[in-house]
Amino acid sequence: MAKVTKKDGDAYFKEKESFLRDLQHFHETRGTPCRHVPKIGGKEIDLYLLYCLVTSNGGWVKVRICIN
């Protein structure tokens, strides 16, 4: 996945871990803890990669419009 984001493997891993800690904290402070990693077709979704791809393509609004 580092190839997609054009980051070296170590940097990607560190940023992903930080992102997931921040996401967990976000949910905990709002009383909506994330208890498991989301899956599609039995495969775990890399939420950090999804975040990187959406933000690099203009954010949720632009990506949502492309899907519709």
Measured between alpha carbons, how far is residue 40 from residues 2, 27, 44, 67 in Å? 21, 21, 7, 17
Lowest mean pLDDT among 36-40, 46-50, 62-66: 62-66
Q: Is residue 13 part of a domain?
A: yes
Number of domains in the chain: 1
Tokens encoding 65: 């419009």
pTM, two decimal places = 0.76
Distance (Å, whole) CA 30 – CA 7: 31
Q: Provide the domain limits for residue 56.
A: 9-66
Q: Is residue 57 part of a domain?
A: yes
Higher pLDDT, 66 or 38: 38
Q: Is residue 14 part of a domain?
A: yes
What mean pLDDT value characterizes the chain? 86
